[in-house]
Chain A
């Protein structure tokens, strides 16, 4: 079946039931199909980048983390038994990687406190990659940037779990059940964390009057 799908490298998305798509791609990757790996990367990279950016706050670092996460997928896919869905397994791997790198970065920061310039480079890249609305003038762009910065800094004040739940639910649009699967916690816990996160943001963002 796998070989049928990837025969002559002619993978056709329309031929496959979307629910089965990941299973086929993972099976293809397990037998070393390069095409399957490419499709998986291109399917998940945008959302993965957005998730990673939520943690790293730096476009270049987020890109590096996403690349590393896919390298780990390639290396560890044989250990993926298929008990859970691929995307829950992948996003868990990605989030753990983000947290791990952030932790290491914090330690490094302590030792290189006198070194400056790295964050500026990241912001530069952020500006380059930012999806600009052509209709916006410089003032509107500035105002939007101000609001985005304020919201992002408020989100940083949430507890790590609250932020993680809020990020996955609100920013990435996952269902509560999916967030629970990715984080490996109960749906009830996700609901409670989400409620707390929203209440905190409501207070921090001045009851919606931005």
Chain B
């Protein structure tokens, strides 16, 4: 009886032909002499044969084209997502550049006109410029007169 319990535990593996040769031979020998175990094997075989007859749908065509299409679609979507931070980054850099430039303009405009030292510096700078410009004007005028004289001479 104890032997029967051990054999019944092996009947499933016996059915699937998964027992090592030695154990398979033992089960074979046992079921020849044990009606209960032989019946158990018959029942299990009938059940498993029936289960194997379950009809399931089968694939009619390769899934590869649709998998490839899905992968490509996914790649495009990821591409867009990847481009989005890139575009945002570029936009941010442009914005910062424009913003900092405006800040510089405003900083020039926002001079404190009550500050006497700044005003005196500006006046001094303007005076220097005026001096240099007037001397330059004299030089240009002299050059033009010289050229005019020479042209008249060559012309005559």
Interface residues of A (CB under 8 A from B): 37-38, 41-42, 45-46, 49-50, 53-54, 59, 62-63, 66-67, 70-71, 74, 125-126, 129-131, 144-145, 147-148, 151-152, 155, 169-171, 175-176, 191, 194-195, 198, 201-202, 205, 207-210
Shortest CB distance A65–B (Å): 11
Ordered by A's residue number, 14 sampled pairs between the chains whose C-beta atoms are within 8 Å are A41-B64, A67-B67, A71-B74, A129-B57, A131-B57, A144-B55, A147-B53, A151-B54, A155-B51, A191-B13, A198-B48, A202-B44, A207-B46, A209-B46
Whether B62 lies near A41 (C-beta < 8 A) is yes
**Residues in A neighbouring B51, C-beta threshold 8 A:** 151, 155, 170-171, 201, 205
Q: Among the listed A49, A131, A148, A205, which residue makes an inter-chain contact with B47, where contact means beta carbons less than 8 Å apart? A: A205
Shortest CB distance A185–B (Å): 16
Report the separation of the CA atoms of residues A63 and B63 in the bound assembly, to the nearest whole angstrom.
8
Report the separation of the CA atoms of residues A170 and B45 in the bound assembly, to the nearest whole angstrom.
12
Q: Is B3 an interface residue (CB 8 A)?
A: no
Whether B57 lies near A126 (C-beta < 8 A) is yes
> Residue of B at shortest CB range from A208?
B46
**Residues in A neighbouring B67, C-beta threshold 8 A:** 41, 67, 70-71
Whether B56 lies near A67 (C-beta < 8 A) is no
Whether A208 lies near B58 (C-beta < 8 A) is no
**Residues in B neighbouring A175, C-beta threshold 8 A:** 18
Q: Among the listed B9, B12, B43, B53, which residue makes an inter-chain contact with A208, where contact means beta carbons less than 8 Å apart? A: B43
> Residue of B at shortest CB range from A125?
B57
**Residues in B neighbouring A198, C-beta threshold 8 A:** 12, 44, 47-48
